[in-house]
Amino acid sequence: MTAPANPWFNAARLKTRHLLLLLQLHEHRSVLRAAEAASMTQPAASKLLAEMEDLLGVKLFERHARGVEPTWYGQVLIRRARAAMSEIGRAQEEIAALREGRMGQVSIGTVVNPGTNLVPQAIAEVKREFPGILVRVEMDYSRPLVAKLLDGQLDIVIGRILGPHGGDELEFEPLADEPHSAVARAGHPLSARADLRHADLVRYGWVLPPTDSVLRARLDAMFLEHGVPPPQNVIETASLPVLTSLLRGSDLLAALPADAVAPYVQAKLLAVLPIALGVRMESFGIIRRRDYMLPPCAERILLALRNAAKRLYPERPPG
């Protein structure tokens, strides 16, 4: 038997059925029994074995009266074939899990309020039944999240569609309105005031969203509408943990959805001040790309988000 002129090319021509027969030959040590186990005739098995040896340019089995025994070359190929078939089996299992939504990766973007209740509840529901699904969550304002959704970096966004950008490419499913309240630490000097006015609020420092956010523009407009300039003593952050820590350790104020800080209020760490700010954002909801078919695992997250929304927001906004 001569060595092949191009062994890499020939080895690449090995097929799965070659490897299956190889493993059966190793197990049964008989061409006849290996052929039966592989659901083929003995002549077909002999032909496949000859093809393998010809492709690789080496003898894989020694033929004896009592059967066949693998050569050193055969033992090497058997070891690799076993690993290859095992990986193929795992790939089949993984593909089935992906197809059925039992595995996979989902990237979600969310604004603050649903990021503190809706999204965690939905993820917990899915992970209880499908721990193999990896969920990545990013919290930000709607505009950067929608930009990442359109760019393919996110699968689902819980936020708002602000303006016409990307409107034709997006589907929006409204979930709830989001009125904002003035929030401070528990025991703040303003928390006991019964006649609180907007002019009282600007005497304190504020933790505000970045200047390019819609909420920041509406808060500035709110103060101007009530005849007072916007706060000048300002800290800017988009991070809820940073914001709540700042509030708890100082007399700073912030505008937040009451739902987002409800756990802190219940724990008597923060308080909602007794004043109607008059700031309301558009309804937030589920945003998806119109022409994008979600993978099965993302569909599971989507269903869980809808289920959680029914519990949290029983009265949906008109849409």
The rounded average pLDDT for each run of 10 residues, N- to C-terminus, in the chain (319 residues) is 53 81 91 90 91 90 89 91 82 75 86 90 93 91 89 91 71 86 94 89 93 86 92 90 93 89 90 88 88 87 94 65
Fold classification of 104-312 is D-Maltodextrin-Binding Protein; domain 2 (3.40.190)
Domain boundaries, the chain: 7-99, 104-312
| CA 76 vs CA 9, 21, 24, 25, 147: distances in Å | 18, 15, 15, 14, 52
**Residue 253 near residue 201, CB atoms below 8 Å:** yes
Q: What is the DSSP letter of 58?
A: S
Closest CA to 302 of 107, 94, 100, 98: 107
Return the pLDDT at 318. 44
Residue 35 CA to residue 46 CA, distance in Å, equals: 9
One-letter amino acid at 285 equals: G
Q: CA end-to-end span of the chain, whole Å?
A: 76
Return the pLDDT at 239. 85
Model pTM greater than 0.75? Answer: no
Instruction: Give residues with Cβ within 8 angstroms of 297, minimum separation 6.
Output: 98, 101, 102, 103, 104, 105, 106, 130, 133
Structure tokens at 260: 């987002």
Return the pLDDT at 319. 42
Contacts 24+ apart (CB under 8 A), 43-47: 45/21
CATH code matching the domain that covers 7-99, chosen among 3.30.110.40, 2.60.40.10, 1.10.10.10, 3.40.50.1100: 1.10.10.10
Residue 243 CA to residue 48 CA, distance in Å, equals: 69
Return the pLDDT at 207. 95
Buried b (16+ CB within 10 A) or exposed e, 83-93: eeeeeeeeeee
Instruction: Give residues with Cβ within 8 angstroms of 128, minimum separation 6.
Output: none
